[in-house]
């Protein structure tokens, strides 16, 4: 009985950090054998959402359970999520621009591999992200506004109007700094992002293809 109570406490602690979700590996570490996991789902205490991903049936409705679900789906063999929501999805999460993505965009390391087929809801991008590129949310990660703007500009998947809107809103709300934007444009002077900067509409400077002028 004591072990059962401890396992229940452990799994609820884990689930509370992930909007009620957890993986089979996390349940195993919490004290639930695979046989016990099967019993919990058969008893409707847990709901199986995806292969090896569960949700506590009595957990309150979450804000964005889909983001937690697919973040856990991206976990490596050590159980660490590899995916970071990015591009248009990150724009939406930061409430930047009127972009309305039809899919969830996720950036994963170049070495990311999954034996199962990539779900249709996901658009996978491969890139190396640094700690400064990533913002931790409630059970998932998202690229920070600056990295998000750079990514969507490089991908060219939204209109220039939406990109300009995102940059303006990020500046107005203090989510990015003008110096960081100009430095990013200088690093890739042939990008769509730099072209917008060169238009002299968004920033009080003129970006050339070689350097940024005041």
Q: Poorest-confidence range of 9-18, 57-66, 198-207?
A: 198-207
**Predicted pLDDT of residue 213:** 36
pLDDT value at 211 more than 50? no
- Average pLDDT on 173-192 reads 83
pLDDT value at residue 62: 81
Nearest to 102 by CA among 114, 111, 92, 112: 92
Q: Which helix (H) or strand (E) holds 72?
A: helix 65-73
Q: Provide the residue ranges of all domains of the chain, joining segments of one domain with +.
A: 2-56, 65-172, 177-214
Residue 88: burial class (beta carbons within 10 Å; 0-12, 13-18, 19+): buried
CA 73/CA 86 separation, integer angstroms: 16
Helix (H) or strand (E) holding 135: strand 134-136
Looking at the DSSP bridge assignments, the partners of residue 81 are 75
Q: How confident is the model at residue 206 (pLDDT cuts 50, 70, 90)?
A: very low
CA gyration radius for the chain?
21
What is the pTM (predicted TM-score) of this model?
A: 0.87
pLDDT(74) > 90: yes
Alpha carbons 28 and 93: distance in angstroms, whole number? 32
| 204 Cβ contact list (under 8 Å, min separation 6) | 178, 214
pLDDT tens digit sequence for 88-99: 999 999 999 998
- Residue 110: is its pLDDT beyond 90? yes
**Contact predicate 148/86, CB 8 Å:** yes
Point out the least confidently predicted range of 63-67, 104-108, 123-127: 63-67
Residue 133 phi/psi, 5° resolution?
A: -85, -15
Q: Is 81 exposed, middle or buried (0-12, 13-18, 19+ CB in 10 A)?
A: buried
- Residues 139-150 have pLDDT tens digits of 999 999 999 999
């Amino acid at each position: 009985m004591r072990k059962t109570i401890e396992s229940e406490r452990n799994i609820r602690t884990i689930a509370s950090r992930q909007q009620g979700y957890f993986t089979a590996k996390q349940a195993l570490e919490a004290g639930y054998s695979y046989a016990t996991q099967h019993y919990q789902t058969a008893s409707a205490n847990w709901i199986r959402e995806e292969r090896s991903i569960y949700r506590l049936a009595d957990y309150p409705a979450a804000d964005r359970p889909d983001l937690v679900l697919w973040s856990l789906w991206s976990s490596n063999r050590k159980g660490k999520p590899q995916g970071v929501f990015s591009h248009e999805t990150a724009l939406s999460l930061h409430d930047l621009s009127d972009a309305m993505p039809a899919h969830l965009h996720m950036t994963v390391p170049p070495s990311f591999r999954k034996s199962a087929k990539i779900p249709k809801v996901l658009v996978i991008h491969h890139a190396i992200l640094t700690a400064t590129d990533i913002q931790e949310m409630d059970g998932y990660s998202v690229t920070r506004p600056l990295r998000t703007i750079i990514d969507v500009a490089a991908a060219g998947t939204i209109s220039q109007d939406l990109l300009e809107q995102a940059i303006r809103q990020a500046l107005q709300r203090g989510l990015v700094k003008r110096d960081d934007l100009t430095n990013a444009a200088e690093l890739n002077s042939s990008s769509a992002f730099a072209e917008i900067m060169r238009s002299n509409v968004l920033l009080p400077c003129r970006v050339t293809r070689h350097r940024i002028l005041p």
